[in-house]
Structure 1
Amino acid sequence: MSATVTAAVLLIALPLAFNSAFAVLAATFDYPDILRRPTAEILDRFRKGGSGLVLLWWAFALTAVLLAPLAVLLAASLDGADPVLLDAGVTVGVLAAGVQFLGLIRWPFLVPYLARADAEPGATPARREAIDVVFQSFNRYLGVAVGEHLGFLFTGAWSILAGAAMTQGTAVPGWLGMAGIAVGAVLVLCSLEFVGPFEPYGWKLAGALTPVAYVIWSLWLVATGVALLV
């Protein structure tokens, strides 16, 4: 299988896998709305999900890893583009995959332990308070800062770089490149949701744009994959 065909398959498979896992988490775990609830309630709901929920989070985290080989193979498929631009896109794409994976991987490995510890019959109020601090700290650090802020920032930057490279070559129609630049710019904007003065409660505009931007980004990936195949 050539690099172009493999890139096309990944471009179609990644958004399908990511959005499918996200949809199942939303239906079974009320994600991401559940994150607004008290820690004890979140951990109780997680514990009731059992090993099936843990495996679902593990699979969801692994979908983020797919962006790394996708970025490499897409760059190899865009003949005629500036090599420096392609190299920058590969670097940023791999970073995007890495930070999104780090943001999600706490769920199948750290959260199960916290959920078990919170349910221990002899757990004191001080221990449960410590569990709450650990959970919320990792949620803000790995979830908001690494997974969301850096994840949106690098994913948006990769989309801009990939889109710019598409406009220089002939592998896909130029309008797909322009679409990638546009949706990438919106994702970069969304990365500012909890930055600076918005840190305590979030920037409402970015919060409203994020789900829409990710749907459009997913459609852009699929359209690019189809264009590479034809």
Structure 2
Amino acid sequence: MSASVAAAWLLIMLPIAFNAAFAALAVKFDYPDILRRPTEEILERFRTGGSGLVLIWWAFAMTAVLFAPLAVLVSGALPRADATLLAVGTAVGVLAAAVQFLGLIRWPFLVPYLARAAAEPDATPTRKEAIDVVFQAFNRYLGVAVGEHLGFLLTGAWSILVGAAVIQDAHLPVWLGVAGIVIGGVLAVCSLEFVGPFERTGWKLAATLTPTTYIVWSLWLVATGITLLVL
């Protein structure tokens, strides 16, 4: 199988898997709205979800891992683009995969422990306060800072670089490249939701843009994959 064909299938299947996992979390865990509720309620809902919910979170994290080979294969599928541009795009894509994985992997491994500890009959108020601090600290650091901020920023940068490479390669339609650049730019804006003056409550514009932008980004990936297969 050539790099182009492998990239095409990953471009099609990965966003489908990503969105399927996200939809499952929305149904089973009320994600991401649940994150705006108190820690005790979040952990109780997590316990209610059982091992099935843990597996969904694990699958969601694995979609981030698969983004790394996708970034490598996409660069290989655009051989006529500038080599430096492709190398930078590959590096940025792999970094995007890494930070998104780090942002998600706490859910199937750390959060189950916190949920169990919070439900222990002898859990004192002090222990519950400590659990709350740990949960919120990991949520702000790995979830918001690493997974969302760096994840959105690097994914946006990768999309811009791929868009530029598509235009240079001249094998795929130019509009796909332009779309990647535009979508990547919007993703970069979305990464600023909790930066600077928005750290406490978030930037409403970015919060509004993010869900739609990720859907459009997913459609762009699928369209790029289908086009690679057809041409």
Answer yes or no: same fold by TM over 0.5: yes
Preserved contact between residue 193 and residue 206 of structure 1 (Cα < 8 Å): yes
The corresponding residue for 2:169 is 169
1:158 aligns with 2:158: yes
1:4 touches 1:77 (CA, 8 Å); kept in 2? Answer: yes
Q: Show CA shifts across 1:60-104 (max 9, x none).
A: 000011111011011011021000000000000000000000000
The answer for the alignment partner of 1:102 in structure 2 is 102
CA contact (8 A) 1:77 1:171 kept: no
Provide the rounded CA distance (Å) in 1 between the counterparts of 2:185 and 2:170. 23
Equivalent-residue separation in structure 2 for 1:53 and 1:197 (angstroms): 34
Report the equivalent of 2:39. 39
1:171 offset after TM fit, Å?
Answer: 2.8
Distance 2:53 2:180 in 1: 33
- Confirm whether residue 220 of structure 1 aligns to residue 225 of structure 2: no
After TM superposition, what 4+ stretches of structure 1 lie above 4 angstroms from structure 2?
A: none
Query: Which string of whole-angstrom CA distances, capped at 9 and with x for unpartnered residues, describes residues 92-117 of structure 1?
Result: 00000000000000000000000000
Report the counterpart of residue 115 of structure 1 in structure 2. Answer: 115
Instruction: Give 1:170 shift.
Output: 2.6
Contact kept? 1:86, 1:165, Cα under 8 Å:
yes
Asked if the contact 1:8–1:224 (Cα under 8 Å) also holds between the matched residues in 2, the reply is yes
Please state if 1:84 is matched with 2:80: no
Aligned to 2:146: 146
2:131 matched residue in structure 1: 131
State the one-letter code of the partner of 2:185: A
* Deviation digits for residues 96-144 of structure 1 (CA, Å, limit 9, x no counterpart): 0000000000000000000000000000000000000000000000000
Task: State the shift of 1:190 in Å.
Answer: 0.4
What letter corresponds to residue 130 of structure 1 in structure 2?
A
Matched residue count: 230
Corresponding residue SS for 1:66? helix
Shift of 1:210: 0.4
User: What letter matches 2:14 in structure 1?
Assistant: L
CA deviations over 1:133-164 (Å, ceiling 9, x no partner): 00000000000000000000000000000000
Gaps of 5+ in 2: none
Task: Give the Cα separation in 1 of the matches to 2:188 and 2:171.
Answer: 25
**Deviation of the 1:172 alpha carbon:** 1.2
Task: Spell out, residue by residue over 1:204-229, the C-alpha distance to the aligned partner (whole angstroms, 9 max, x if none).
Answer: 00000000110110000000000100
Aligned-partner SS, 2:81: coil
CA RMSD, aligned part only? 0.5
User: Structure 1 CA distance, aligned partners of 2:146 and 2:205?
Assistant: 20
C-alpha separation between the residues in 2 aligned to 1:65 and 1:29?
22
Distance (whole Å) between structure 2 residues aligned to residue 171 and residue 77 of structure 1: 10
Q: Give the Cα–Cα distance (whole angstroms) in 1 for the partners of residues 192 and 208 of structure 2.
A: 12
CA contact (8 A) 1:22 1:60 kept: yes
The two structures have a TM-score, normalised by structure 1, of 0.99
Q: Percent of pairs identical after alignment?
A: 75
Q: Matches of 2:66 and 2:14 in 1, distance apart?
A: 6
